Amino acid sequence: MRGHEVCYLKSLIRDVYPFFKEVFASLGLEEELWSNLLGPATIEGHSDIALPCHSLSSSLRKSPVDISEHIVSLFSDDILNIAKVSSKNGFVNVSATSSWIEEQISYIFADDRLGVKIDDSRTFAVDYSAPNVAKEMHVGHLRSTVIGDSIVRLLLFKGHTVYRENHIGDWGTPFGMLIEHLLDLGEDKAAKELGVGDLDSFYKQARSKFNSSADFASRSRNRVVLLQGGDKETLRLWKILVSESMRYFNDVYSILGVLLKDSDIKGESSYHDLLPIVIDRLTKTNILVNSNGADVVFPTKKWLNREGGEMPAIIRKKDGGYNYSATDLACIIDRIERLNCTDLVYVVGTPQKQHFEMIFDIALMAGFMSDKHNATHVNFGSVLNQNGKILKSREGNTIKLVDLLSESVSRAEAVIIDKNPNLSPDERSKVAKMIGIGAVKYADLSTERSKDYIFDWDKMLSLEGNTAPYLQYAHARICSIFSKSDIPPSSLSNPIFIIIDKEEELLAKRLLLFSNIIEDTIINYSPHRLCNYLHSLASSFASFYENCPVLKNEDEKIIKSRLALCDLTSRTLKLGLELLGIDSPEKM
């Protein structure tokens, strides 16, 4: 019996390979001349795999068309079990037979992991979300949270060890003014403002007092010194800022249903003690130099400033304060030496591209990491409004994320009332949450991450197109097919698949691609690839369902086979959405 491999095209190539070998041997053509030519067909629907004969013309002294026709004529009937072979325009086209597809689909059906292998385990640190204390968490942090969380889920599913690192901005000079503002307001009032997420106005008030009052500014500067020096009372006040902001961030995380926990918080402040060590180790490797009073490193790759001068990474400022870069270097040391990570992943917006390139470069120069480690900046674009500007509230402020998410849930509720008025109010509110939150997450995930995307309520909540509600609806529809039949999915163990119709075959082939798509999504840290796949799967399910009667069929065997295809589709959609961090309601 032939085993199942990662991707059905790879399995198909493996299965037909010996037949090609025999045919080419009879033509006297060496294996290396043709073996790499056999690959996936470029146009879906033409065939599954193809072998272009154009490069064989000179060796065989015939036209590509003649070669391909001759090759096809040499194939014995044996291959018919596996694939049909034909020729067109100088290509040998190979299409899997139904029986071969049936066999492959049976393997996947019987596997809870739907054919996805467990990888050799590596250890990842995934740095994501990372909002800043006493500052509004903006749509960029939302995007980092959603993409990062999906990457964590995918890596865990592949069997890796994953550390979630929430590198919150909880340290630095602004804390002087924030603490002074907290004292002015009174601790209780300040805590209240922060805890409900009025972070933007808190920060702005502090900033404006800093700019307008010399006395406030000087108090703030003294406060920074006290904070850096570890003054107890100052630290106590600082902790209020951190914990009240975290209370708000945690509200957002819980509405979003992400994996992040308090124990994942590794804010900038937690690297404080490592900073002198960073300076020490950079000094020992002779790469730290003094430039205008600051401690800087010139990376191997050259970055130029506006005047055309070489740009260094500033590690410690003139006033002795450490920079963002110093903290990130400390992070690398911590993640590699304490956590033993092999892979460092940073889900942070594109504007920080240069920062990460410099940091990775310096970490290699200083020996904090080696070529055994992979460091990747998983960058992403901005979230824009309909006019192509950064998404803001009507008043021009940063949008409060809890408001945005609750708006999505109420809009989803309106969509469901329209679609299925019979749902009980209780069910409706549960489903509305899954759809509303799913829609926002999916909008973030389904755009290729390096691109900006336009935030559009109608589009993301639509039941048509590449949206979460469309996929959730496809899943719920399959659940309702089962509830209409008297055959529960659990009774379908070891089903015999019968693939007859075109739409059925296309659906089956799409189902076989799942494991391959998961690999591809992880290698590129690109959840949009999984989204595109799930969308194409749901579309081929729709045309299957339209053209191939499932329950209204005379033949009991076909009913069972088609129900099994329905079940496998719903399991694939559910698992795929789960890996994106999105729920699949059974009714909607």
Binding site for ligand ARG (CB under 6 A): 127, 130, 132, 167, 169, 328, 331, 346, 348
Distance CA 438, CA 133 (A): 26
Which residue, 142 or 512, has its beta carbon nearer to ligand ARG?
142
Which residue, 90 or 140, has its beta carbon nearer to ligand ARG?
140
State the number of CA atoms in the 13 A half-sphere of 262 facing the CB: 8
Task: Indicate the angle between helix axes 139-157 and 425-446, nearest 10 degrees.
Answer: 90
Shortest approach of ligand ARG to residue 330 CB, angstroms? 10
Q: Residue 166: phi, psi to the nearest 5?
A: -100, 95
Shortest approach of ligand ARG to residue 127 CB, angstroms? 5
Distance CA 227, CA 405 (A): 35
Distance CA 220, CA 181 (A): 9
Shortest approach of ligand ARG to residue 128 CB, angstroms? 8
Shortest approach of ligand ARG to residue 390 CB, angstroms? 14
Shortest approach of ligand ARG to residue 142 CB, angstroms? 12
Which residue, 168 or 412, has its beta carbon nearer to ligand ARG?
168
Which residue, 132 or 145, has its beta carbon nearer to ligand ARG?
132
Shortest approach of ligand ARG to residue 157 CB, angstroms? 24
Distance CA 66, CA 459 (A): 51
Instruction: Provide DSSP, 105-123.
Output: HHHHHT-TTTTPPPPPP-E
Residues 551/487, Cβ–Cβ less than 8 Å: no
Which residue, 104 or 145, has its beta carbon nearer to ligand ARG?
145
Task: Indicate the angle between helix axes 527-547 and 468-484, nearest 10 degrees.
Answer: 40
Which residue, 130 or 199, has its beta carbon nearer to ligand ARG?
130
Which residue, 295 or 328, has its beta carbon nearer to ligand ARG?
328
Burial class (CB in 10 A: 0-12, 13-18, 19+), 226: middle
Shortest approach of ligand ARG to residue 422 CB, angstroms? 45
Shortest approach of ligand ARG to residue 331 CB, angstroms? 6
Residue of minimal Cβ distance to ligand ARG? 130
Shortest approach of ligand ARG to residue 555 CB, angstroms? 58
Residue of 384, 385, 388, 359 lying closest to 373 (CA atoms): 359
Amino acid at position 227, single letter: L
Which SS3 state, helix, strand or coil, does residue 77 take? helix
Which residue matches tokens 């090759």?
71
Burial class (CB in 10 A: 0-12, 13-18, 19+), 306: exposed
Shortest approach of ligand ARG to residue 406 CB, angstroms? 23
Which SS3 state, helix, strand or coil, does residue 281 take? helix
Shortest approach of ligand ARG to residue 130 CB, angstroms? 4
Distance CA 12, CA 369 (A): 41
Count of Cβ atoms closer than 10 Å to residue 1 Cβ? 5
Which SS3 state, helix, strand or coil, does residue 316 take? strand
Which residue, 109 or 203, has its beta carbon nearer to ligand ARG?
203
Which residue, 160 or 167, has its beta carbon nearer to ligand ARG?
167
Which residue, 331 or 391, has its beta carbon nearer to ligand ARG?
331
Which residue, 328 or 519, has its beta carbon nearer to ligand ARG?
328
Strands 49-52 and 161-165: unpaired
Distance CA 275, CA 2 (A): 57
Residues 177/207, Cβ–Cβ less than 8 Å: yes
Distance CA 167, CA 269 (A): 9
List beta partners, residue 39. Answer: 50
